[in-house]
Structure 1
Amino acid sequence: MSRGDRRVVRFAVVTAQPHFTEWEKQCIQQLERVGAEATMHIWNKSLLNRPIHAYRFDFILLLTNELEGDWGGAPLGVWSFTWGATPASIDTLGWWEVYRKEPTVHVSLWQDHQLVQDGQFRTIQHSIAQNRRRILQTVAAWPALYLQKRLVEHGLERRKSLEVFAKRVFETPTFFQKRLMDVKVGARKVKVFFDRMFRDEYWNVGIIERPIAHMIQAKDFHITWLARKKNSYYADPFGWIDGGHVNILLEEMRIAEPNGFISTCAYSIKEKKFVQSPERKLVRPHHLSYPYLFEYEGVHYCIPEAAENEEVNLYRYEPQNMQWQQERTLLQGIPAVDSTVFQCDDRWWLFCTVARQGTEEHNDSLHLFYADDLHGEWREHPLNPVKVDVCSSRGAGTPFHSDGKWYRPAQDCSTTYGGRIVLNEIIALTPLLYEEVVVRAIEPDKESAYPDGYHTLSKVGEYTLIDGKRQFYHWATLFINGGKGG
């Protein structure tokens, strides 16, 4: 069905008050942008003088659980949210997760009793207000995204059977719990301040002498680590094999410099050790990281992250002078984080998260772009963000193909940035749909020199590159990085 052939989708909005809150307005505006029309606002059951089906709504957008009763009767059902691990009022959004010190807040969108969209957001343990504001800003787009998906998959066919919307029960914190929460949040604010002053982290890169597909099942694997330097850290390794060496591109950060840059080092396959220390290779006035590397038609290409500059640039390797030359800009005006490109089914796909000020989208919201040709026009996926999950969205290396399936490594940032790597199996990848499911988590070795995180896993022939994190506290951190912490 073409867009011009679609009739207007009509819906009613149910809220607790006669005036819309800011996030309720955002929900409605997003739906209107995709062609829907809000034809009635209900905040009191007395406003209804006939059965729901007589109003000819396509669906009911239920944004409160304070109005009791049966809201069934619209052909596309009742769309509603649940906040948190258990059904809860929006007034307690994120409250219990902070109280119980849970790492994530789980939000779901339902069509009647069918789960149609969900996501996990990192819990900000020292601020309930920040949790609520950040989450509501993101999920306001979910009803519109789901409507787009319905139009793409099924059109507007009517459901064969209507399910009655169940009354939801939620917990209200007691007076004692509220006072205890004040104490907990106060203590966590002190810890956050202390961490910013004195905590730092060190990243390093290593190599595993096994193919990346081995990581789908592997429980134990040996990592050969690059020799560390006191005043630099190394992360985001990607590479290619040249003769008897693995040439590696990586991010390097030095204590005395404000921005990261791209360096290169080498690992000897014969000697089974790193034989070249990192050397500066690509520098720009802004921060560079995640030098995503791939080969196409015999040419090595690199896409370093330049989110600060709001560009996704494609670099081409020139073997004559062993330099990287910028070839073209793939995306402009988008602060794309950890852009990851691969070819599948005669199309090129680019995964990234997006850095937006005051949000956690760079860690939890996966965006997708596609093109028919690497050097052609790139289009945004209509369902962006195609996924919202702080546990498995942000890119963590090269997608790979094994036993007829595609896998996409991603970061789990629910407890800490780059806490571990998960492998997503890609279920559906088209210009109209995207679906993936987590099939494996790769945990850092708590007995190793880097026990606090992994956040890159990349394929190099029959070898796999990885990086690891170690957190530490030191009084000098206050003076080295201005108390920004790790």
Structure 2
Amino acid sequence: MNRSTITFGVLIEDVAMPKWQAEMIDHLIASPHVDVHYLMTIRGKKSVSETASWGGVPWVSGTVVTDVHLTNDTMKWLKEHPVDVLLSLGKWRWQGAIIDFPAYGVWGFRHQWEKVPFFQHYRERNSESEVMLARLFHDEDYQSLKVGYRHMHPFSRRRHQRAMEEGVVEWPAQAAKDILINGYPDSIVVSTVYDDPKVADRLHVVLSQTKHLGKEVLKKAFAYEYWNVGFSNQDLSSISQEGVSLRFLKEGKHHYYADPFFYNDGENWRIIAEEMDHHEPNGFISEWVMRDGDEPTEYKRTLSQPHHMSYPYIVHHDGTTYCIPETSEAKSVVLYQWSGHWKVVKTMLHDFAAVDATVTYYDDQWWMFCTKASGGNSHNEELHVFYADDLLGDWKEHPLNPVKVDVRSSRSAGTPFVMEESLYRPSQDCSRTYGGAVVINRIVALSSEQFREEPAYRLEPDPLSDYPDGLHTVSFVNGVALMDGKRIEYHGKHLLRKIHRFLLARAKRMKKREQTLKEKPSDAFFS
């Protein structure tokens, strides 16, 4: 497409709009890929002066005949001021000529067309909730332009709606950018089903939310997650057909182990993993030696920092072994090299809170997959991609980041691999619980301008094992499958443990604050 911007007109109910809509308009105006021509209020309670503007974009007023048709005067004005996209931020299910005249149609968010947004998801007791930017067609059909699946807020639909709307403020600008790079999407047009909730449905949902609230209170107070590392001689085909069967490390009384990977130190295979000591505020990295499939031995603590460390991802390049531990608290991605010990050789990303960064070489390019700790549940939902010509070179951000929003299969879960010429990426399903299962995605489009993947395999924890409640890391090396497992345990002692960890975290924050104050320049004035 030989153009640099897509033109927008925005339809809103009133100048006094919700915060998420205001932020969305700010993103559109700031985007170099978008040219906003006007903001039109429909049924506004406040009159709009002819000279009013927002960021240099003029306000205009429009009127409707019904909730689906604009007046003839308003339609005439719109046709005299053509744009590529009409973004409709309201409950209107437009019909008639307005559907046809913008080049890329009328866009809106599907949940706004529902009488009670997201109610259907609560009635069906979903663990994830779909949010969609869509293009309206005649007869209330629609076409998906951008879709995401986020974690359901279990006991408050209003909080859930607020979180969902806060997460889409950049979507129209991102969709416009995608069209400029890759052309208009070819997703299918589907029929709209609006099922207004009945009184009995509402009562059922209220009772269900009350039940969830009680469970959440019990979990917050008395539940504790224990992870452990396990291994087996199964391959992917065996696991997908027969299920996971692991031998686990001996469980520590005050420790748990997770995020395991393999590497060879030149003499022996080693397991490297996150360790969490319940008496310490941060996770750190530990290792074991594994000889000829025997039980791992020679444990040692190998990497620790003042901030949390986990997910010590291993990558091999030109005969050298590297490790990329997760350090999102430090807002950086750091590359360590093995040379008898681990040493820092490069900071791959600066000022980016990457979670579980996973690097692989494919199709003559280095690729990094990660989520981002940026508030809410984004660290489990929003997949980001970076790429580089060389592992030790400069890394570039994918222009469509986040390339995917899906709590069921975004966050990294182990080493990618090539099978039958396709790249497969393990990911976590965090929809019901953090690290509930592993979904292995087959990547069907990967370039500096495109990304698309689809689920191919699903690995569930063994329900009969000592760790039946989760599985979130998997790698296959030298005929051995290395994974982890989770057990959720309820006990009164865990309340004391959580209070202890809260106090540790609070002390950590206070220490960090004191350090910041010491480093802050004095405000004193020296003549």
Same fold (TM over 0.5): yes
SS at match of 1:273: coil
Quick one: structure 1 residues 225 and 412, their matched pair in 2 at CA, closer, same or farther if it must change by over 3 Å? same
Quick one: structure 1 residues 243 and 208, their matched pair in 2 at CA, closer, same or farther if it must change by over 3 Å? farther
Aligned residues: 465
Of residues 224, 248, 272 in structure 2, which corresponds to 1:249?
Answer: 272
* 1:77 is aligned to 2:105: yes
Offset of residue 255 of structure 1: 1.4
d(CA) in 2 for partners of 1:58 and 1:245?
61
The question of whether the paired residues in 1 share the 8 Å contact of 2:143 and 2:190 is answered with no
Of residues 76, 79, 92 in structure 1, which corresponds to 2:116?
Answer: 92
d(CA) in 1 for partners of 2:298 and 2:253?
13
Aligned to 1:280: 301
The residue type paired with residue 229 of structure 1 is G
d(CA) in 1 for partners of 2:497 and 2:344?
33
d(CA) in 2 for partners of 1:178 and 1:403?
49
Offset of residue 175 of structure 1: 4.9
Aligned to 1:110: 134
* 1:194 is aligned to 2:218: yes
Quick one: structure 1 residues 98 and 277, their matched pair in 2 at CA, closer, same or farther if it must change by over 3 Å? farther
* 1:478 is aligned to 2:495: yes
d(CA) in 2 for partners of 1:417 and 1:99?
23
Offset of residue 410 of structure 1: 0.1
Unaligned runs of 5+ in 2: 43-62, 64-69, 137-141, 503-527
* 1:350 is aligned to 2:368: yes
The question of whether the paired residues in 2 share the 8 Å contact of 1:365 and 1:387 is answered with yes
d(CA) in 1 for partners of 2:353 and 2:238?
30
Of residues 139, 144, 149 in structure 1, which corresponds to 2:178?
Answer: 149
Offset of residue 390 of structure 1: 0.1
Of residues 289, 294, 318 in structure 2, which corresponds to 1:297?
Answer: 318
Q: Percent identity?
A: 35
SS at match of 1:125: coil
Aligned to 2:24: 27
Q: Larger RCO: Structure 1 or Structure 2 (Cα < 8 Å, ≥ 6 residues apart)?
A: 1
d(CA) in 1 for partners of 2:350 and 2:298?
34
The residue type paired with residue 124 of structure 1 is H
Quick one: structure 1 residues 13 and 164, their matched pair in 2 at CA, closer, same or farther if it must change by over 3 Å? farther
d(CA) in 1 for partners of 2:190 and 2:406?
26
* 1:435 is aligned to 2:452: yes
SS at match of 1:31: helix
Offset of residue 356 of structure 1: 1.7
| TM-score computed with the length of structure 2 as normaliser | 0.82
Offset of residue 463 of structure 1: 2.0
* 1:16-415 superposed matches below 5 A: 16-32=13-29, 33-40=31-38, 41-43=40-42, 44=63, 45-46=70-71, 48-50=74-76, 53-70=79-96, 71-83=99-111, 89=113, 92-112=116-136, 113-154=142-183, 170-175=194-199, 177-178=201-202, 181-211=205-235, 213-214=236-237, 217-241=240-264, 245-269=268-292, 272-276=293-297, 278-319=299-340, 323-357=341-375, 359-415=376-432
Please give the per-residue CA displacement for 1:159-188, whole angstroms capped at 9, x wherever unaligned: 9xxx9998x553444455545544443443
d(CA) in 2 for partners of 1:63 and 1:146?
16
Aligned to 2:507: none
Offset of residue 266 of structure 1: 2.4
The residue type paired with residue 63 of structure 1 is L
The residue type paired with residue 61 of structure 1 is L
The residue type paired with residue 149 of structure 1 is D
- Structure 1 stretch 305-314 or stretch 342-351: which is displaced more? 342-351
The question of whether the paired residues in 2 share the 8 Å contact of 1:244 and 1:268 is answered with no
The question of whether the paired residues in 2 share the 8 Å contact of 1:216 and 1:423 is answered with no
- Structure 1 stretch 302-311 or stretch 341-350: which is displaced more? 341-350
Larger Rg: 2
Offset of residue 348 of structure 1: 1.3
- Structure 1 stretch 225-234 or stretch 104-113: which is displaced more? 104-113
Please give the per-residue CA displacement for 1:417-470, whole angstroms capped at 9, x wherever unaligned: 000000110111111111111111111111111111110011323322110111
The residue type paired with residue 18 of structure 2 is T
The question of whether the paired residues in 1 share the 8 Å contact of 2:231 and 2:481 is answered with yes
Quick one: structure 1 residues 7 and 302, their matched pair in 2 at CA, closer, same or farther if it must change by over 3 Å? closer
Quick one: structure 1 residues 165 and 364, their matched pair in 2 at CA, closer, same or farther if it must change by over 3 Å? closer
Unaligned runs of 5+ in 1: none
